[in-house]
Structure 1
Amino acid sequence: MESSRVIGDKFVKQIISGVEYCHRNMVVHRDLKPENILLDSKCNVKIADFGLSNIIRDGHFLKTSSGSPNYAAPEVTSGKLYAGPEVDVRSCGGIYTLPSHLSVGARDLIPRMLVVDPLKRITIPEIRQHPWFQAHLPRYLAVPPPDTLQQAKKIDDDILQEVVNMGFDRSQLIESLRNRAQNEATVAYYLLLDNRFRVSSGYLGEEFRETMSWARPREIMTEVLKALQELNVGGKKIGHYNMKRRWSPGYPGQPENVLNPHHISNIHSNGPIIESDAVDAAAAMVVEFESQKQAGAESGAPALDFSN
């Protein structure tokens, strides 16, 4: 029974994550039902049959009554207008009949997906925040899927060049990407871009390795710097991929983990760490460490080293 519960929870979380990926890419499925939920050789979920799917457009509503009546949302079968994502959420909840092998958390979540009023129905972001969904969430599902809209705003130079090398015109490709046009060049671009977020072993399962560990050194250090900035960690740059950092638990009058602004130097500066005589030396312990980008010892993958 415990094994059935674990598998049931896995299926629900994978379906929700798959639907979330569709919505992030502005696609609503509109025909989610057991017949369209397939399993691969490793019992991982595959969402199939997008024949009734449609594109989500900001400010536009859909009105086509589509899908199987047994699983379609009430607003769809009644011919009312709907945005899209909310009907997929309802269908996801309708796939299950609350079998006994589902955990208590899942049995609490699914009825919220079946609420008749679409305005009161739980959303995908809210599902992700549900305690049951967060509990024992596999790493490959914890990492949010790539946001195509954000990808479209920032053109990747390396992938752009790969597409140009295929014979496409650079200027026309850039214009098509900015206008979100659909043609052979943009399809090639997004396929290459999407491939960067995949692993070589097929479906993102236990073999998943975080995308960031395979990213370019510059991208890794950029993400590290963003995280350290949010923690108000000061420091100085001593190399392209090597930095000395300083962090303090706090000082009088400020919350813990927040450095005195006088202690924080520009992370892109090559100058020394800025000190301030205005801060009581006994206010808090200061931790100094060094962050360095290096190659992984075993796999050859890029890695980060934090040392005192």
Structure 2
Amino acid sequence: MRLRSLLRWLPFKRFRHPPPVVAVVRLSGIIGAMGPFHRGLALSTLAATLERAFKLDGVKAVALAINSPGGSAVQSALIARRIRALATEHKLPVFAFAEDVAASGGYWLATAADEIFADEASIVGSIGVISAGFGFPELLQRWGIERRVYTAGESKNGLDPFLPERADEVRHLKQLQADVHEAFRRHVRERRAGKLKAAEDDLFNGRFWSGRTALGLGLIDGLGDLRATMQQRFGDKVRLQLVGESRRWWQRRLGLPGVSARAHEVDHIVGAALAAIEERSCWSRYGL
């Protein structure tokens, strides 16, 4: 009894009753490959981070900090599916927080959460599919350049920017877009079942909205930032632990960056201009 009384007064209370932990995973940037000089969000680079987030000691929930204008539909689906699988396996709630943008594939990622929050000025939505390019059918002729393309399969060079556009090729592209769009719509219907407050023609037409309007449409569950919302849910003592890519022990010891960090450095040195142009074209659609 004396030992038990002594332990009650010792400063070990925080070890006996540790604060709840919320793992924070940042999903920031373009989704999918961004070319040889810039790496976007992809399951291959996020899988280990997500696994660690759901396995943290004392973790009570996982929070996704999302700032993405979208990108690859396939990678959006793969990442969202992995998040749901881990949430089910570990029986943990997932919260998503839109920062500047959670649009297109960025919103697809957000719907992997059980609840979605945003700032009132965040850009949310853009549930659609886009394909953009340029056509130069007269440029070669003007400069006297002969283009030589040989294929096995009459549609192998479909939508070639140096050839006149063909109606059958455009129809094929639009059908492909319709298939991807329906997959996106189906995912949103399932994840936001009973919460959507507008007609599908209004919600799924590719338009994007402010966070405040998105709340009224049922695309998100509330307005708020990550820290304040998690404190409301789990108390003021909640510990927010950012989970990122890990480094080997000797890299941590010497203060060296991990492989991903070194690659990121090289990316900026070698291809900063190209990456900036590619990425800017995605962000600029949302006025950012």
TM tier, smaller: under 0.3
Higher relative contact order by CA 8 Å / sep ≥ 6: 1 or 2? 2
Q: Which has the higher helix share?
A: 2
